[in-house]
């Protein structure tokens, strides 16, 4: 079996695949400092909850946007599975061309999303990943990452609102029943969620206008994408495991290649 890991700023999301079959996933927080031993223990415990043993994992592939934890994380993988993970970085075959002005600035997670959406859903396509930041990435018909937009994530927006205003509390992120709010918490939830949906819809419309692709397919992923996608008709598909599937696809392109394992995270142009 293959273990895939998406190391984000808030969580590390893991998935286990048997061939193309997704067997299950789990998360651990990124923000708690961990030694390599602590990473090993945390991952092993989560696998056991699925009835899996570390010895069943044949290989590991990782995409990371958090370089400062990768030394401990990689060593934790090595201790648990006896091998270094394949890291999305220079030298890794993706099948995606990056047409941004500075490809080295493109996050590994965004490249993985582009690989997944083009392989699974075709192009042209707009992939939206609702994470700590929300990213909008335009993938052309021929499989090129053409352009991208980055905005503050839903949770980050909520924290900023509560943190910067003394009398505003922290709120649960959920859709209110109405925009006609009657109290402070409902008012904040209405402003956050309806405002965010409006932002998402405007950016989608702007992409369609500037690309001249009225039927541009829109695919969303990320935990909070489930909430947003239910509230707008402008998102065509919600795929919660899109990034994990992309990691599996990239692994299949590279599993027989030598010289593709690294101790740090990087970005690439295929």
Residue by residue, DSSP assigns 157-220 as HHHHHHHHSTTPPP------S-SS--SHHHHHHHHHHHHHHHHHHHHHHHHHHHHT-TT-EEEE
Give the model's pLDDT for residue 270.
34
Give the model's pLDDT for residue 166.
60
Nearby residues of 176 by Cβ (< 8 Å), 6 or more positions away? 186, 189, 190, 193
Is position 109 annotated as part of the catalytic site?
yes
Contact 161, 190 (CB under 8 A): no
Q: Would you call 55 exposed, middle or buried from its count of C-beta atoms within 10 A (0-12, 13-18, 19+)?
A: exposed
Contact 218, 235 (CB under 8 A): yes
Rounded to an integer, what distance in angstroms lies between the CA atom of residue 7 and that of residue 66? 7
Closest CA to 4 of 222, 243, 226, 219: 243
Give the model's pLDDT for residue 265.
35
Catalytic, out of 6, 37, 59, 109 = 109
Beta bridge partners of 9: none
Q: Does this chain's domain 2-87 share its CATH topology with 121-242?
A: yes
Backbone φ and ψ for 17, nearest 5 degrees, come out as -120, 140
Instruction: Give the rounded distance of the alpha carbon of 136 from its chain centre.
Output: 11
Q: Report helix, strand or coil for 241.
A: coil
Give the model's pLDDT for residue 267.
34
Give the architecture-level CATH label for domain 121-242.
2-Layer Sandwich (3.30)
Residue by residue, DSSP assigns 8-72 as -SSEEEEEEEETTEEEEEEEEESSS---HHHHHHHHHHHHHHTT--GGG--EEEEEES-GGGHHH
What number of H helices and E strands is found in the chain? 7, 11
Closest CA to 162 of 136, 138, 189, 181: 189
Rounded to an integer, what distance in angstroms lies between the CA atom of residue 13 and that of residue 49? 15
Question: For the chain, what's the residue count?
Answer: 270
Closest CA to 110 of 229, 264, 247: 247
The one-digit pLDDT tens for each residue of the chain (270 residues) are 999 999 998 899 999 999 999 998 999 999 888 999 999 999 999 999 888 899 999 999 999 999 999 999 999 999 999 989 999 988 888 888 888 777 677 889 999 999 999 999 998 999 999 988 999 999 999 999 999 999 998 888 888 877 766 667 788 888 988 999 989 899 999 999 999 999 999 999 999 999 999 999 999 999 889 999 999 999 999 999 999 999 999 999 998 765 555 433 333 333
The residue behind tokens 């993985």 is 112
Q: Output the six-digit token pair for 121.
A: 């859903």
Give the model's pLDDT for residue 167.
63
Give the model's pLDDT for residue 164.
66
Q: What's the CATH class of domain 2-87?
A: alpha beta
Taking the domains of the chain in order of start, what are their residue ranges?
Answer: 2-87, 121-242
């Amino acid at each position: 079996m293959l273990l895939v890991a998406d190391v984000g700023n808030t969580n590390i999301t893991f998935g286990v695949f048997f061939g193309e079959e997704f067997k299950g996933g789990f998360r651990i927080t990124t923000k708690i400092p961990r030694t390599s031993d602590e990473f090993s223990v945390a991952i092993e415990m989560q696998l056991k909850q699925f009835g899996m043993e570390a010895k069943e994992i044949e290989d590991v592939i990782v995409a990371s946007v958090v370089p400062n934890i990768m030394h401990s994380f990689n060593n934790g993988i090595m201790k648990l599975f006896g091998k270094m993970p394949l890291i999305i970085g220079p030298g890794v075959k993706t099948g995606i061309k990056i047409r941004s002005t500075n490809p080295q600035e493109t996050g590994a997670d965004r490249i993985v999303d582009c690989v997944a959406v083009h392989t699974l859903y075709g192009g042209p396509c707009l992939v939206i990943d609702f994470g700590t930041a929300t990213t909008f990435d335009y993938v052309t018909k021929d499989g090129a990452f053409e352009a991208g937009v980055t905005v503050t994530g839903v949770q980050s927006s909520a924290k900023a609102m509560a943190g910067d205003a003394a009398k505003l509390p922290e709120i649960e992120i959920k859709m209110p029943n109405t925009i006609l709010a009657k109290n402070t918490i409902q008012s904040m939830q209405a402003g956050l969620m309806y405002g965010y949906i409006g932002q998402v819809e405007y950016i989608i419309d702007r992409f369609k206008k500037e690309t001249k692709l009225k039927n541009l397919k829109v695919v969303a992923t990320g935990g909070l994408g489930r909430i947003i996608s239910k509230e707008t008709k402008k998102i065509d598909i919600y795929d919660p495991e899109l990034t994990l599937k992309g990691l599996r696809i990239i692994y299949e392109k590279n599993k027989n290649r030598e010289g593709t394992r690294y101790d740090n995270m990087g970005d690439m142009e295929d």
